[in-house]
Amino acid sequence: MLTIGVLALQGAVQEHLDCLHSLPGVTGIAVKKAADLNGIDGLILPGGESTAIGKLLQEFQLTPLLIAKIRAGLPVWGTCAGMILLAKTIVDQPSCHLGLMDITVQRNAYGSQLNSFTTNALIPAVSSAPLPLVFIRAPYVAKAGPNVKVLATVADKIVAVEQGNMLATAFHPELTGNLEFHKYFVAKTGKQKITFS
């Protein structure tokens, strides 16, 4: 059984847990405090509001611990606000949060909540069929370093990236009913014991 944590300070936590629980051989747990990080095989940083999540990480003294665990190789996947938390640089902001991924992100890059949209894209690394992508006050990657693999672009903007043990998507696979991205991340935890049909 693989255990995947979902950072549960704010945002779309339950939606990710529901997706994880629908995968055979996978259990999802809500991560609220340092002790919850023990024994997890991977961690999802959900969408929500990156400033709020960043503040709560500081308040609960989780920032240095998370940085250390991810640097040590803990597989992590940031969705939307989670992508912003992972970024080394945030456009027009003097500081970052975890600052681990070699990407520059533009927050709210598509406008306000009203400009949220859904589209489909083929992401060959993840699935042979086009995947539904939901963008909600989403960021995009304005710049990616040489060690960053671009997994997906939409209208020439980078929206999914991978760097070693880190995966980040500007969109929300947990809101689509399509589990391909969750399967991809679970497989990425390195324990390929699980093969999904």
Rounded least distance, CB 1 to ligand GLN, Å: 29
Rounded least distance, CB 107 to ligand GLN, Å: 4
Amino acid at residue number 140: Y
- In 3D space, the residue among 72, 83, 10, 68 whose CA is nearest the CA of residue 34 turns out to be 68
Q: Does the annotation mark 80 as catalytic?
A: yes
Amino acid at residue number 74: L
Rounded Cα distance, 115 and 144, in Å: 24
Question: Number of residues in contact with ligand GLN, rule: CB under 6 A?
Answer: 11
Count other C-beta atoms under 10 Å from residue 192's C-beta: 9
> According to the binding rule CB under 6 A, does residue 96 interact with ligand GLN?
no
Q: Kindly give the pairing relationship between strand 157-163 and strand 166-169.
A: antiparallel
Catalytically annotated residue among 15, 80, 97, 182: 80
Q: With CB under 6 A as the contact rule, which of the stretches 28-36, 42-50, 61-69, 160-168 interacts with ligand GLN?
A: 42-50
> According to the binding rule CB under 6 A, does residue 89 interact with ligand GLN?
no
Q: With CB under 6 A as the contact rule, which of the stretches 33-41, 76-84, 124-132, 148-156 interacts with ligand GLN?
A: 76-84
Rounded Cα distance, 197 and 195, in Å: 6
Q: Does the annotation mark 174 as catalytic?
A: yes
Rounded least distance, CB 126 to ligand GLN, Å: 19
Q: With CB under 6 A as the contact rule, which of the stretches 17-25, 33-41, 43-51, 183-191 interacts with ligand GLN?
A: 43-51
CB environment 23-54: b (16+ within 10 A), e (fewer): beebebbebbeeebbeebbbbbbbbbebbebb
> According to the binding rule CB under 6 A, does residue 137 interact with ligand GLN?
yes
Q: Kindly give the pairing relationship between strand 157-163 and strand 149-154.
A: antiparallel
102-131: which residues touch ligand GLN (CB under 6 A)?
107-108
Rounded Cα distance, 66 and 43, in Å: 10
Q: Does the annotation mark 97 as catalytic?
A: no
Instruction: Using CB under 6 A, list all residues that contact ligand GLN.
Output: 47-50, 80-81, 84, 107-108, 136-137
Residues making up the binding site: 48-50, 107, 136-137
Residues making up the binding site for L-glutamine: 48-50, 107, 136-137
